[in-house]
Amino acid sequence: MRADTATRLLESIAADRLAILCGAGLSMAPPSNIPSARGVADHCAREYLNAVGEELDASVREDIEAMAKLFRDRNRFDDLFIGKLVPWHKFNRDSNIGHAAIADFLACGVAFFCLTTNFDELVERAAHKFGEPDFRAIVDAQDLAENCLHKPYLKLHGCANRNRRQTIWCKDQLGDAPIKERLERFQAWLSTNLLDRDVLIVGFWSDWSFLNDILVNVVSAFGPRTVFLVDPQPSDSLATKAPNLWNWVNEGEISLIHEQESGAQFLDELRCHVSRNFILHAANSASDTYEQLFGSREHSQPVQMPDSSQELYALRRDLTGVPRHLPVRDRCPEDKHNVLTAIHCRLLDCGANYYNHLYEFQGEKLRLVLGDSQLISKLKCRYVEEPPSQLIPDIVVCVGAIEDASPPDIIRGDEVPSVIRAGANLPGSWITHQELVQKLQSDSNEHSS
């Protein structure tokens, strides 16, 4: 991703203007490896030969839209084509880094919404891995009225697991009552929510060309400000392969930015940019709190940034006080995170190493969590459902919590019993942050002297 493109996207996110359109190319990236339209057509043709003992005509064996139309004309679309020939199991694969990025963006509001032409549930699976408690894609027209904790995820062409018989495979289906109603309702929704936004288009111009054309029919009336088009193919190939979609993104006053890159890789890079920007924002927002607690940062170290999107996301979780089994909701840091972020920065200034939610500091492994004015015993219950971790903290520092038992000494690491609710027997000694702050205030920070 070019630096100026990253800047433009971060500006769009800051203005709450970014919408995402994603297509089949996103799910073809490993480890998802969803088959192409040609691959699905080949599979269906072989299954038909095995079932009936005759080959389909050569004109439809490699064209999934023509094949779907053939079975529709024969009145065998639902029972044979959808019910027996389509390899639905090949749409049930592992999600990739692009799906993870979209799930993250929807959870924290980086994207105002995402519209997809994909049948698979790989974004949903990625969201569940983050701990999204109730991720609900908008598949049918009535789903538009539902309220979710995450931003809307619209599946324009149906879903492999929720409404197979209403998935779109050819243009002739557009007049069918359920599909026609869905597209009309989606178009009405988009008329309000897509107009004058910035649109990131990822994974189109695959060989599912008829799906691209259906997308254009739905969105062409609504002109975005800027289109960020991500596709490894050169512009002339895109114009030839999907002329209607190409004309749409090049018409009127639309500003087109074309990045020749894998869609999944691009989304992962954008997720890294979003996370780094969040972390720097958090550090800047906590600068006054840092000075009040620890004095000037004239000998401070640069904010330590992990390399991968997963590690950056882990740090975003820690700076916002979110347990590992729940998604990050905050698009921007809040004031309640300032003390925690200031302690994070001070630990790094004092030579601590941060990795996998833990700080190695003076021979002990520390973890910071957001206490948010709760009793430690109550706070621990929030972390009971976390998945197990290979690294176990010696001490869990509950920033802003209220102690309800005598805490251990952070220097000696003595074990002191605490009052814990039943079922909240978690590893490490859980303490409030005051003792650690006192220690960090008096630390001479030999590394920067």
CATH code of residue 152: 3.40.50.1220
| Residues 354 and 223 reside in one and the same domain | no
**Same-domain check for residues 55 and 125:** no
Q: What is the spatial distance between Cα 227 and Cα 255, in angstroms, rounded to a whole number?
A: 6
Listed residues 86, 106, 121: the one ending a domain: 86
308 and 160, same domain (yes or no): no
Q: Looking at the structure, do residues 30 and 55 belong to the same domain, yes or no? A: no
| 19 and 75, same domain (yes or no) | no
Q: Is residue 277 part of a domain?
A: no
Q: Which of these three, 86, 118, 146, is where a domain ends?
A: 86
Let me know whether 317 and 208 are in one domain. Answer: no
Q: Are residues 16 and 58 in the same domain?
A: no
Residue 220 and residue 79 share a domain: no
Do 76 and 216 belong together in one domain?
A: no
Is 232 within the bounds of a domain?
yes
pLDDT-derived band at 405, boundaries 50, 70, 90: low
In a domain, 28, yes or no: yes
Tell me the percentage of the chain whose pLDDT exceeds 90.
54
Q: Is residue 281 part of a domain?
A: no
Strands (E), 300-352: none
* Inside any domain, residue 279: no
Q: What is the pLDDT of residue 416?
A: 43
User: How far apart (Å, rounded) are the C-alpha atoms in residues 449 and 446?
Assistant: 5
The answer to whether position 403 is within a domain reads yes
User: pLDDT at position 54, please?
Assistant: 93
Residues 68, 121 share a domain = no
Check residue 448 and give its pLDDT: 45
The string of pLDDT tens digits covering residues 263-288 is: 999 999 999 999 999 999 999 999 99
Q: Is residue 276 part of a domain?
A: no
pLDDT of residue 441: 86
- Asked if residue 349 belongs to a domain, the reply is yes
Q: Last residue of a domain, which of 227, 250, 266?
A: 266
Do 112 and 236 belong together in one domain?
Answer: yes
* pLDDT of the residue at 418: 39
pLDDT recorded at residue 298: 64
Q: Which domain holds residue 335?
A: 291-448
Which position has the higher pLDDT, 256 or 81? 81
The model's pTM is: 0.88
Residue 89 phi, psi dihedral angles, 5° rounding? -65, -25
Contacts of 119 (CB under 8 A, 6+ apart): 91, 155, 157, 158, 159, 160, 167
Strands (DSSP E) found in 156-239: 198-202, 226-230
- Number of domains within the chain: 3
pLDDT at 167: 94
Q: Are strands 18-22 and 364-370 parallel, antiparallel or unpaired?
A: unpaired
Each residue's pLDDT tens digit, 293-327: 988 876 556 677 888 999 999 999 988 989 999 99
- Tens digits of residue pLDDT in 42-97: 999 999 999 999 999 998 998 999 999 999 999 999 999 999 999 999 999 999 99
Q: What is the pLDDT of residue 325?
A: 92
Residue 262 sits in the same domain as residue 380: no
CA–CA dist 210, 72 (Å, integer) = 16
